[in-house]
Chains A and B, each alone.
Chain A
């Protein structure tokens, strides 16, 4: 009917009004309708259309008696126009009139209610409303559109909710007055939103309700207001997939929780209902309850919490005493702590009333220690004591007397251990508080500190060594006590530090009972709180154990390691490295055993690598280089050839490297030029160059590329290439030289002149590989290519060279194949820290350039050379992350299966790497192997037995095989069950324990296949 009317008018009247055009388009073409509304806006702006005319033109439609939808669309038009109208176009009077007009309609007609709300929102945006208008708007909506749920469209309700939210956000006072002057308002307001289910609307409703909840006196309406939100508890909303609004259950939970916690008047309803829901069988509900209780404790007033504190304790304790889920216990502990913190800020009475039953119950649990309950008591005491100094004080006064009388009254080590663990929990709370609360009063702890210290030192030094947990508890207790300021006297602190040092230095227990590692850790922790005591007492004690010239070097190793580990604490770092340096100086001077000297150097290296040296601008201070690395360099320069062993030079090189490489170019340049002369004359002699190789490699690795000039570089590269081609040197030295070549090629050679530089240095790959290349030449070629590939700047050249290496596989033996494993093998020299160029994509590139070629070659190659390709392929694949391999899995399976058939002793590595890939495959992409199940299972089974397979291959094969029943479809693996289970019996008797362990797991997995199914079949 309505459409017909409009059409008729279109035909009759040339000059249509905007509303007519709008109504004509709105259902068919939203954009066009918007355009028409925009046109009205510009006409109003340009004053070619008067507001009064526009309203008059709406008249027939906004009052259409027959068709509600026409009325609604007309209001929508009005809302569209007002929403885009700039603020100053309408006068205050016009806005008031419009406001009255819209409100007037609402009283008689609810059609287009959402649009009415939008129109009002737009009007409000043009200028603030006075108190009367605000109250009128609110009242009109609550009275005429109650309840909200009568409107079926979410968008309509959304517009209403937004308007109300706007009012509550901006006009707090006016609306509070409305509430105060009209007691009937609140009930209507509360029930207005009842039944809303849409998460977008609820997000706003939960938010707007917080205004009355937190700011108004709602004592009389508390229950209704509370129920209106608690009805939604717990939130079980799951957003639909691809939810465009991005509202999560967590968002709703957060807002709902804020509502519940908003007003102390809710407490009589909130706590009983929350605690009731704490008995829920759903862990998620319990989680929500606990979070909400925490929020309530924070939000409600202390005097309100006081009424419920003991009730809460009685309920929450069960979550801790009988842990269902660890996180629920943690949240319950947090809630208990928050309650205590609340009272700690206010009066003492409520705190005492709250703590009394807790202390009583915890003391009872301690009587039976160690039990689950006594352990839980420890956790509870910790959570409470950590909450505030006043609480810690009361806990200590309430618990420690009982704890120590139980301790002294029992001779049972197990019992004493349980009690010490509880004590440690309380002391740990003091440690926490000590760091953040300067007002911490430790008197209550102090009263028992001496008793605790005595008990712990006695336990540590005199308890049977097999009582590991007892001694560990004592160790932990000691280091905690030391770290609390003023808990111990100076003398007592010294005794505690001595006791810990004593274990580190003098306790030599093999196997069970050895707690040195923990003692070292504890000593390092103690060094942080009392560095002076450690410096004055522990360090000298260490030095006594580290003579200049030890008779038995191996005895010193544990002491030295512990000493080096101390350097991880910045407070004692400088002391540790200085002592180590001096010790090395004396050892070298007195010609102590070489291994001892090297150990001292390793300790220094450890300190500078993993310790905590002082820094300047984020890098290790350069003075460490001057004081520690330079003397070592001078020592090398003045030593005769061969005086320092390779392995020693390697460590010196690493110390120099770690101290030198972070320094700036200017500093490096000075050092480089100072050393250039002796270094280049030293390496002129071939034997000297070989013997210094481990040092020079590390030294050059530290240098920034801009420090070395091009000419120096060619001569260094030439020298290295000459050394690499020597046939006489030992493989270790050659390996070092080759790494040096990779480093120089990668870091120092200008990519633009790469080939020319390589030619000038006699290591151009084409030349190296021409004719029948010697093994040394092949090695050098791989070293050059490695440097280039990782650099990624000389793409074409690298590709050409890599191709040349691949072609070698057809003629040369397996050795060339094995070389491929070196291309991607990790090398700590070629790193960004060493200023090398490391392309982000080099692994991907090598894969793309080499692997398809190899797969094809495996398919077509003669059986005699096929292993070359399989070995080379595995050498590449071994170092690639699975994500790089993943897209090509399909084509890799055939060659990988063939790799498992390689049976020579030298090929175990190759097999192991194939198995690792199968393991990832079964884990991540089992469908890819599904069609190869038969051959995979057979080959894996064949790889589980010796002697053709070494232990690590056997173990890995069993790990893969164990994945099959879990990862592949049941019907695909069941046919092999009998065979596998039978064959694995032999593996249960493997010679190696590690293999047997895997065999048990694997067999369990296969045995599990038939569970419950045999009966059905």
Chain B
């Protein structure tokens, strides 16, 4: 069975080495182990000041958390590889460093661009197009419409990069691909592991 795969035994990145928001961004307030010792309950005297309400106060609610590269990474790293039961993140197919958010090109435009570079597990990987398609579909569905999604193969990592890039960049060819039932099924299976 393994012989059919392009790369039967790829290197797997240990989950604790994958980038995540918790690890990359130091949080302002670290929860301590003593916090639970003196819990605050809704006070009998002042039921309005329940602890849940205060931790979620109106001012912090207004503060905007921008969509950043890590957020895009989190959206696509959990996509399953079509031939290994592993995520694209753990196979290193998508990497945080290969995601770039480009601001609008002119002050009048609202359109930002998300560029994702894909690294196939081998340079001869025949499923590169499908993986690219999966990433593209996921981002188009999960990002607000003010983002243009640009998915490409990372330079020098695939022998068929130019051909694949042309396909992924062509709106009509993507649309046509998504009318192919068996292809849709493959993509859906890949995306099934995304939350």
B-binding residues in A (CB < 8 A): 322, 368, 370-373, 414, 417, 466-469, 472, 510-514, 557, 561, 564-565, 599, 602-603, 605-606, 609, 647, 650-651, 654, 731-732, 734-735, 737-739, 742, 779, 782-783, 786, 815, 818-819, 821-822, 825-828, 875, 905-906, 908-909, 912, 946, 950-952, 985-986, 988-989, 991-993, 996-997, 1000-1001, 1003-1004, 1007, 1011-1012
19 examples of A-B residue contacts, CB within 8 angstroms: A417-B14, A469-B17, A511-B26, A513-B23, A605-B37, A609-B37, A735-B43, A735-B44, A738-B43, A818-B47, A821-B42, A828-B39, A946-B61, A991-B61, A991-B62, A993-B71, A1000-B141, A1003-B141, A1012-B181
Contact, CB under 8 Å: A1003 / B58: no
Query: Which one, B11, B38, B61, contacts A371 given CB within 8 A?
Result: B11
Contact, CB under 8 Å: A371 / B71: no
Of the listed stretches B49-57, B100-108, B150-158, name the one at the interface; the rest are far from the partner chain. B49-57
Query: Which one, B9, B14, B38, B45, contacts A779 given CB within 8 A?
Result: B45
Smallest CB separation, B153 vs chain A (Å): 24
Contact, CB under 8 Å: B144 / A985: yes
Interface positions, chain B 1-55, Cβ under 8 Å from A, are 1-2, 9, 11-12, 14, 16-17, 19-20, 22-26, 32-34, 37-39, 41-50, 52-53
- Closest A residue by C-beta to B14: A469
- CA gap between A125 and B79 in the complex, in Å: 70
Contact, CB under 8 Å: A1003 / B142: yes
The answer to whether the Cβ of B173 comes within 8 Å of any Cβ in the partner chain is: no
The 3 nearest A-B residue pairs measured at CB: A735-B43, A512-B23, A510-B26
- CA gap between A540 and B39 in the complex, in Å: 32
Query: Which one, A468, A734, A996, contacts B67 given CB within 8 A?
Result: A996
A residues less than 8 Å from B195 (CB atoms): 997, 1000-1001
Contact, CB under 8 Å: B24 / A731: no
Contact, CB under 8 Å: B17 / A468: yes
Smallest CB separation, A1012 vs chain B (Å): 8
B residues less than 8 Å from A735 (CB atoms): 43-46
Smallest CB separation, B50 vs chain A (Å): 6
B residues less than 8 Å from A739 (CB atoms): 44
Query: Which one, B14, B24, B63, contacts A512 given CB within 8 A?
Result: B24
Contact, CB under 8 Å: A561 / B58: no
Query: Which one, B2, B11, B32, B46, contacts A322 given CB within 8 A?
Result: B2
The answer to whether the Cβ of B64 comes within 8 Å of any Cβ in the partner chain is: yes
Query: Which one, A467, A738, A818, A951, contacts B56 given CB within 8 A?
Result: A951
- CA gap between A819 and B67 in the complex, in Å: 40
- CA gap between A875 and B49 in the complex, in Å: 14
Smallest CB separation, B42 vs chain A (Å): 5
The answer to whether the Cβ of B165 comes within 8 Å of any Cβ in the partner chain is: no
Contact, CB under 8 Å: B23 / A557: no
Smallest CB separation, B48 vs chain A (Å): 6
Smallest CB separation, A884 vs chain B (Å): 19
The answer to whether the Cβ of B177 comes within 8 Å of any Cβ in the partner chain is: no
A residues less than 8 Å from B16 (CB atoms): 468-469, 472
Contact, CB under 8 Å: B65 / A993: yes
Contact, CB under 8 Å: A370 / B45: no
The answer to whether the Cβ of B145 comes within 8 Å of any Cβ in the partner chain is: yes
Smallest CB separation, B3 vs chain A (Å): 12
Contact, CB under 8 Å: A779 / B144: no
The answer to whether the Cβ of B188 comes within 8 Å of any Cβ in the partner chain is: yes
- CA gap between A783 and B44 in the complex, in Å: 7
B residues less than 8 Å from A514 (CB atoms): 23
A residues less than 8 Å from B44 (CB atoms): 734-735, 738-739, 742, 779, 782-783, 786, 819, 822
- CA gap between A365 and B71 in the complex, in Å: 36
B residues less than 8 Å from A512 (CB atoms): 19-20, 23-24
Contact, CB under 8 Å: B45 / A650: no
Majority DSSP secondary structure for residues of A touching B: helix
- CA gap between A606 and B37 in the complex, in Å: 7
B residues less than 8 Å from A951 (CB atoms): 56, 61
Smallest CB separation, B64 vs chain A (Å): 4
Smallest CB separation, A828 vs chain B (Å): 7
Contact, CB under 8 Å: A602 / B61: no
Please encode chain B, from 176 to 195, with 1 for each CB lying within 8 Å of some chain A CB and 0 for all others. 00000100100010010011
Contact, CB under 8 Å: A991 / B24: no
Known contacts A468-B16, A468-B17, A786-B44, then 18 further A-B pairs from the complex at CB < 8 Å, ordered by chain A residue? A368-B9, A370-B12, A472-B16, A511-B24, A512-B24, A565-B33, A650-B38, A651-B37, A651-B38, A732-B43, A735-B44, A815-B48, A819-B44, A821-B47, A822-B43, A826-B41, A909-B50, A1004-B194
A residues less than 8 Å from B25 (CB atoms): 511
- Closest B residue by C-beta to A472: B16
Please encode chain B, from 59 to 97, with 1 for each CB lying within 8 Å of some chain A CB and 0 for all others. 001111101000100010000000000000000000000
- CA gap between A414 and B11 in the complex, in Å: 10
The answer to whether the Cβ of B166 comes within 8 Å of any Cβ in the partner chain is: no
The answer to whether the Cβ of B143 comes within 8 Å of any Cβ in the partner chain is: yes
Contact, CB under 8 Å: B34 / A606: yes
Smallest CB separation, B92 vs chain A (Å): 11
A residues less than 8 Å from B52 (CB atoms): 909, 912, 952
Smallest CB separation, B43 vs chain A (Å): 4
Interface positions, chain B 120-168, Cβ under 8 Å from A, are 141-146
Q: Beyond A322-B2, A606-B33, is A819–B9 a contact (Cβ under 8 Å)?
A: no
Q: Beyond A742-B44, A1003-B141, is A991–B63 a contact (Cβ under 8 Å)?
A: yes
Query: Which one, A989, A993, A1007, contacts B141 given CB within 8 A?
Result: A1007
- CA gap between A991 and B62 in the complex, in Å: 7
A residues less than 8 Å from B45 (CB atoms): 731-732, 734-735, 737-738, 779
Smallest CB separation, B78 vs chain A (Å): 11
Of the candidates B25, B43, B44, B50, the one having the most CB atoms from chain A within 10 angstroms of its own CB is B44
- CA gap between A513 and B20 in the complex, in Å: 11
- Closest B residue by C-beta to A732: B43
Query: Which one, B33, B48, B50, B146, contacts A561 given CB within 8 A?
Result: B33
- CA gap between A717 and B45 in the complex, in Å: 17
Smallest CB separation, A916 vs chain B (Å): 12
A residues less than 8 Å from B146 (CB atoms): 989
B residues less than 8 Å from A372 (CB atoms): 9, 12
- Closest B residue by C-beta to A653: B38
A residues less than 8 Å from B24 (CB atoms): 511-512
Contact, CB under 8 Å: B37 / A952: no
B residues less than 8 Å from A732 (CB atoms): 43, 45
Q: Beyond A370-B12, A989-B146, is A1000–B75 a contact (Cβ under 8 Å)?
A: yes
- CA gap between A988 and B149 in the complex, in Å: 15
- CA gap between A64 and B61 in the complex, in Å: 96
B residues less than 8 Å from A1000 (CB atoms): 75, 141-142, 195
Contact, CB under 8 Å: B34 / A603: yes
B residues less than 8 Å from A1004 (CB atoms): 141-142, 191, 194
- CA gap between A1004 and B139 in the complex, in Å: 11
Q: Beyond A370-B12, A371-B12, is A602–B34 a contact (Cβ under 8 Å)?
A: yes
A residues less than 8 Å from B9 (CB atoms): 368, 371-373
Smallest CB separation, B142 vs chain A (Å): 4
Smallest CB separation, A1002 vs chain B (Å): 11
Query: Which one, A370, A557, A986, contacts B11 given CB within 8 A?
Result: A370
- CA gap between A1000 and B47 in the complex, in Å: 34
